[in-house]
Structure 1
Amino acid sequence: MNQTSKDGTVKPKRKLWRTRFKMARKTSAFAPRVAADEVCIPDLSDDELQHWGEYILLSDATSVLHRDGTITRRAHNITKLYANELLAQWDEVYRFYDRNTSLHKIQTAKVYLPDGSVRKAKKVVQPYGQTSLNFYPLRPGVTVELEEQQDFFIPDRIAACMWGQEYLQFAIPCRRLRFTVAIAEPFSLDYKLHRTDAEPRTWKQGSYQVYQWDLHDIPGYETDDGTPHPRDVLPWIDITTLASWKPITKFYVKDLEPPARTPPQIQKLAEELASDDQSTEDKIYSVYKYSSEDVRYGRHPNELNLEKTREMGLMLEDMRGDCKDKSSLMVSMLRHLGIEASIAILLTRMNGSVSFLPGARFDHAIVCVTLENGDRLWLDPAGGPVTFKDIPYNDQGTQALLLNSEGGELTTIPEGGPQSQQVSRTCEGFLSEDCSYQFTAEVRTSGDTAMELRLKYMYRNQESTVLTLEKELASHLTGARIESPQFINLKDISRDVSYSYQTTLDQWSRQIDEIILFRIPWLGSMQTAGVVNVQKRTSALQTPNPIRFTDEHKIKIPSGYQGYGLPYEHNLECAWGRYQATVYVENSHLICQREVDHRGGIVFEDQYPEFKKYWEACTRADALDVVLMKTPS
């Protein structure tokens, strides 16, 4: 039976001799070396190289967890290059390692020229564990080979374990991809397949259990600005030897948890901030406002690589801290006020939304407050000037580890949907017979849009704010004249951001004899977002982030005119959005109402025709002219 520690991790066995003497460990028994001749023949056509810019001939990765809890990683890559920007990436290749805890060896570094000759890359060993490789000469059609191994002589910082992931497809084609994992007793491996059913070949090699994926002729996955994160669309493998999240929690509690005894200066600060507050919500808001606004984001350069939170006294001296510093400060103050709060660590949405097996894969820290009724309130004091009770979309729907108890709690941060990210506009104006449209607008924003407006404007003076807001509003409507732009609420983060302005659109409509063709200047018009600009996609599409646009125009129409073909209504819906618009005439006013929900999500290749059909129908509805006809005398 394996010996386990109190936090559930497996206790490693005695050290290997090669670990003691800091020598490289052998891995060829698990994955025999693949020679370049095995993958370089047959040669690639120029058409393939010109299409992709490069072509991976071999991607061979081996990860070994030894009985003493140390790890060996070997990587062997052979790539044929063509595009200039990709050639430039191989001019100089750097590797860094800590000589006290690991050993890094370059086993092969070569350039294969089109004429059949071979050149060795120049290796320069620099101080402080840095190695520089210069591949020369490089020109279209060369093949570069890099084989390297790194041996770690102390276990992972979390515990004696191994965790990680490997993609089974890349943005460019790969002739052969091999991924090998060898786990020594007493450890055991847990793996999870994502978007693939490729089970590994397994066998016993001495005291090691070996898992190997060996794939051939993998097509490239063409990407563009609309392609989602690779973890959400490509096949990949998640691996870990950790049986639970307990050791992860233990590690981060040690680094991030505020002191059990709240420092006197933090006690005093919390009491001063909440001195005038009556309710629990008021106290939470006061602490959040201070942590979010008064404590600026960042750290001194000499503290950037420190994983622990800053000492509270230092934070109060220079009023600065990163996400974990701000969260720790906020939790410390809330606890002193008798409010249950915990730090939550997560991997933000920009890095994909698929959940991981246990491992230290986090890039952000926020705060979770447990209210008196048991509900949870998620707050991000480092997310920017976010409205109280809102949370940036980048945090929503992600896997989070709450550092609130022994072993922690793995949960998912709720997604607010389009209703939590709103832009709502109300307009009232008149349409002249000369086809000009003048209106006054009031706009209310919430969620990320409100945060972005605060980031852009809250530290500007009045003159700069007016000028910049005028330019921004005019940029969405060609020829628009913007007057009197002003924020109704900008700096109060307890409320949504609102602003107003007046607009004149000269000759906005078209007049044909006694007919006026009027196009409604909808807010967030779908004509301006070219997400369906191709007939067919060869990769998935990331749809716009969730947001709701609500727009209403009450327009006084010219005397003697009436609507033709009104009222009309459009109701469109699919899995990724909803569109609803109505236009009618009431008491000599044209009433135009529209609500659009972008629901977010991923459109895979086979779903693209459905999404394209929906988006194009919405675009046509946005562009539809309202017909006003002059009635006979």
Structure 2
Amino acid sequence: MISYMNKWVVGALGLLNTFIVLAQKPEEDFAKYTSKFPGSNAVMTMDSEVIQLELIGDSMVTTSKVREEYYYMADNPSGYSKDRVYNSSFMKATDLEAFSLIPAKKKYSKIEVEDFKESYEMESFVFYDDGKEITFSYPSLVTGSKSVLTYNRQYKDPRMIGMFFFQSYMPVEKAEYTIIYDSRIDITVEIFNDPENRIKIERSTTDNGKSILRCIGKDLPKVKFDANSPSFQSLVPTAHFRINSYKRGDEIVPVLRSVADLHSWYQTFTHQVGTPDQAIVDMVKEVIEESDLEYERMRKIYYWVQENVRYIAFEDGMRGFIPHAGSYVLEKRYGDCKDMSSIIVDMLRAAGLEAYHTWIGTRDIPYTYEESPTPIVDNHMIATCFVDGKEYFLDATGSYTPLGLPTSMIQGKQALVDMGDTYQLLEVPVIPATENIMSDSVFFTIEEGAVNGSGEVELTGYARVFNSYRLIKTNKKSVDDYVNRLLGKGSNKFTTTDYKLSGVNDLDSNIYINYSFHIQDYYRQVGDKIYFNLVLDQTLMNGLIENREVPLENEYLYTNENVAVLDIPDGFEIEYLPENVSESSDFFSYSIAYEKQDGFVKATKTFTMNYMELEVDQFDEWNRIIKKYTRACKNALVLKKQD
């Protein structure tokens, strides 16, 4: 059983904390927190987790004690009353206690939460999830009240302990992450995203020889978010905990010392899959031709899975880690990312190709396997196939992602390729902007203030992928509305009068949109002169970054090309043609060029977004370039009636 002394210490600290909270004076607390955190509606006064690691016989027992305390300054804090605790087959929450502390003259009155409801946690993107949530509400919250939550966690596997965040969506007065562990256990705790060293680490020893490691943060501001911000765990100070190894007699038992240990553990989930059975072999014979070269075999199999196996998120205990055999997925015709990886690997191997299950984290997870060789680093599985000396990252969860293009969410991420008894770490490339292009070329005439013309849009790379989700719809009106927004230019009086799509259903083809359009009241004619802005595309004009304190993320690098050709009206000639302009930086570049032709005038505008994440210290340079870009986009062509 767990050490009586450790249990007593943790339990006594909990009782002492509750006594201290009850003994505090409401008036003093209100003055303290409104002064210390002005403008805040609530403060997390304590966020604590104490993890205990005990070696009992040949087993490691892992438990933790969680305590969360909040103080509310809002005029109506009822919006903070609802709370929840998560349960799963890996981590069981027990001994829940929650209560409100209501100010009453010189002390607080304690009101216990009595109604706890347990239900399955149903996320919109998860078909089935064995995780449960315990929901409850703090009663009678008013201005100056507090809430307290305590509970225990029991971990099925110490590899699953995870991480601790020191910041929240409100200010945090104190956050403390503590590990109490047997001297026979070797652990590592690393702090990420703390450039100002706000998190302090303290080490000590108990009277009975247990080691204590504390990570403490104090008076941390609330996390700032904005549109297209990096993920929460990319922004906040975070503690990563892992057990390297422990002693069992004279033996050192490895746990998560390195990527090799993580792979060895993961290998126990995949070693029973990856051998294609007859059903897989028979299906592969239907999909490919014997004469197909390796690349063509890979292409046909990958596209078959994308088209015929439906992606669903399915999390059920260890099944959240263990993929089904490819034949099972073939029969069901649905599966999660692991299952889709499994059927791809099985089919590719049946076709004689070199293919492997591959763990990877999406871009929301800002760590590499070398930095933190734990399950924290990944949340996704794909397949990796080697053909003609090149690796292909195959993620069939991206329904409209063509072969050769990784899903955008794993660009730049480190992949752990399971090669049986060994592994390989590969980096998924970031696709350059030159491969993700939206090109729009238009030819038009003008008459009585209106513009009438025709054009062609070509979408390549991720521009093709992301627009596919909106262009492949059964509802024609939805597609019509989206096309009109996508093609829109000049002013809000733009209308698409007709259009035709091609290449949408062929993943190896670019998408083309041929269209005709009308813009009412676009230009001015004063006397014998016409003032006309040939830069019809207004994307990023006045796109200044203001009042933002966090980096700006981009889904992918891309280039926009816009060509506009005006048929000069009879009887007019060019009096003024704007100058060509261009500017380039590491993260954004543009050029606008004008050209006279026989009876026509042509404007070509190109800009490139060349950042995946724009840092705060780059905002001033961004704004400087955007101001110049905006001015350049507003330069008008002047046509004059001929004498």
TM range (shorter): 0.7 to 0.9
Contact 1:121–1:134, Cα closer than 8 Å, also in 2:
no
1:539/1:285 Cα in 2 relative to 1: closer, same or farther (>3 Å)? closer
1:102/1:228 Cα in 2 relative to 1: closer, same or farther (>3 Å)? closer
Pick one of 363, 375, 378 that aligns with 1:360: 375
Q: Give the counterpart letter for 2:240 in structure 1.
A: D
Greater mean alpha carbon deviation, residues 278-287 or residues 37-46: 37-46
Greater mean alpha carbon deviation, residues 79-88 or residues 256-265: 79-88
Contact 1:200–1:213, Cα closer than 8 Å, also in 2:
yes
Q: Are 1:451 and 2:465 an aligned pair?
A: yes
Q: Give the counterpart letter for 2:531 in structure 1.
A: L
The TM-score normalised by the length of structure 2 is 0.83
1:260/1:508 Cα in 2 relative to 1: closer, same or farther (>3 Å)? closer
Contact 1:107–1:149, Cα closer than 8 Å, also in 2:
no
Q: Are 1:123 and 2:104 an aligned pair?
A: no
Instruction: Determine helix, strand or coil for the equivalent of 1:491.
Output: coil
1:208/1:612 Cα in 2 relative to 1: closer, same or farther (>3 Å)? farther
Q: Give the counterpart letter for 1:69 in structure 2.
A: M
| Residue 381 of structure 1, CA deviation | 0.9
After superposition, what is the alpha-carbon deviation per residue over 1:151-184, rounded to whole angstroms, capped at 9, x for unaligned? 34x433xxxx465222333332222222222332
Pick one of 240, 243, 247 that aligns with 2:242: 240
1:102/1:240 Cα in 2 relative to 1: closer, same or farther (>3 Å)? same
Partner of 1:63: 51
Counterpart-to-counterpart distance in 1, 2:25 and 2:629? 49
Q: Are 1:221 and 2:247 an aligned pair?
A: no
Counterpart-to-counterpart distance in 2, 1:228 and 1:86? 29
Instruction: Determine helix, strand or coil for the equivalent of 2:139.
Output: coil
Contact 2:438–2:460, Cα closer than 8 Å, also in 1:
yes
Counterpart-to-counterpart distance in 1, 2:258 and 2:461? 34
After superposition, what is the alpha-carbon deviation per residue over 1:95-154, rounded to whole angstroms, capped at 9, x for unaligned? 5466x98562235633233643322322346689975544211233321112222234x4
Partner of 2:122: none
1:324/1:393 Cα in 2 relative to 1: closer, same or farther (>3 Å)? same
Correspondence 1:376-395 to 2 at 5 A: 376-395=391-410
Contact 2:102–2:144, Cα closer than 8 Å, also in 1:
no
Partner of 1:630: 640
Greater mean alpha carbon deviation, residues 498-507 or residues 537-546: 537-546
Correspondence 1:16-35 to 2 at 5 A: 16=2, 27=10, 34=17, 35=20
Instruction: Determine helix, strand or coil for the equivalent of 2:412.
Output: coil
Percent same amino acid at aligned positions? 15
Partner of 1:348: 362
Q: Give the counterpart letter for 1:341 in structure 2.
A: A
Correspondence 1:323-334 to 2 at 5 A: 323-334=337-348
Pick one of 589, 611, 617 that aligns with 2:622: 611
Pick one of 115, 132, 146 that aligns with 1:143: 146
Counterpart-to-counterpart distance in 2, 1:278 and 1:311? 25
| Residue 293 of structure 1, CA deviation | 1.1
Q: Give the counterpart letter for 2:141 in structure 1.
A: L
| Residue 471 of structure 1, CA deviation | 3.9
Instruction: Determine helix, strand or coil for the equivalent of 1:189.
Output: strand
Contact 2:541–2:626, Cα closer than 8 Å, also in 1:
no
Q: Are 1:586 and 2:597 an aligned pair?
A: yes
1:223/1:101 Cα in 2 relative to 1: closer, same or farther (>3 Å)? closer
Partner of 1:3: none
Counterpart-to-counterpart distance in 2, 1:352 and 1:550? 32
After superposition, what is the alpha-carbon deviation per residue over 1:486-524, rounded to whole angstroms, capped at 9, x for unaligned? 112111112222221111222311222232222235447
The TM-score normalised by the length of structure 1 is 0.84
Greater mean alpha carbon deviation, residues 599-608 or residues 265-274: 599-608
Pick one of 182, 187, 192 that aligns with 2:185: 187
Partner of 1:105: 95
Contact 2:550–2:615, Cα closer than 8 Å, also in 1:
yes
Greater mean alpha carbon deviation, residues 105-114 or residues 409-418: 105-114
Contact 2:327–2:343, Cα closer than 8 Å, also in 1:
no
Partner of 1:513: 527
Correspondence 1:147-546 to 2 at 5 A: 147-152=150-155, 154-156=156-158, 161=159, 163-196=161-194, 197=197, 198-205=199-206, 206-241=208-243, 242-256=256-270, 259-275=273-289, 278-298=292-312, 307-352=321-366, 356-361=371-376, 362-372=378-388, 374-430=389-445, 432-458=446-472, 460=474, 467-468=480-481, 470-473=483-486, 477-523=491-537, 525-527=539-541, 530=543, 532=545, 534=546, 536-543=547-554, 545-546=556-557
Q: Which consecutive unaligned segments of at least 5 residues does structure 1 have?
A: 1-14
Q: Give the counterpart letter for 2:79 in structure 1.
A: A
Structure with bigger strand share is 2
Counterpart-to-counterpart distance in 2, 1:39 and 1:450? 62
Counterpart-to-counterpart distance in 1, 2:91 and 2:614? 45
* Matched length: 603
Pick one of 561, 564, 569 that aligns with 1:553: 564
1:126/1:473 Cα in 2 relative to 1: closer, same or farther (>3 Å)? closer
Q: Are 1:572 and 2:583 an aligned pair?
A: yes
Correspondence 1:79-94 to 2 at 5 A: 79-83=70-74, 87-91=78-82, 93-94=84-85
1:236/1:300 Cα in 2 relative to 1: closer, same or farther (>3 Å)? closer
Greater mean alpha carbon deviation, residues 386-395 or residues 607-616: 607-616
Instruction: Determine helix, strand or coil for the equivalent of 2:279.
Output: helix
Contact 1:387–1:450, Cα closer than 8 Å, also in 2:
no
1:522/1:391 Cα in 2 relative to 1: closer, same or farther (>3 Å)? farther
Instruction: Determine helix, strand or coil for the equivalent of 1:408.
Output: strand
Contact 1:466–1:485, Cα closer than 8 Å, also in 2:
no
| Residue 286 of structure 1, CA deviation | 0.3
Q: Give the counterpart letter for 1:363 in structure 2.
A: N
Instruction: Determine helix, strand or coil for the equivalent of 2:305.
Output: helix
Counterpart-to-counterpart distance in 2, 1:130 and 1:483? 52
Partner of 1:598: 609
| Residue 557 of structure 1, CA deviation | 1.8
Q: Are 1:75 and 2:91 an aligned pair?
A: no
Q: Which consecutive unaligned segments of at least 5 residues does structure 2 have?
A: 120-131, 244-255
Counterpart-to-counterpart distance in 2, 1:466 and 1:94? 42
Q: Give the counterpart letter for 1:369 in structure 2.
A: C
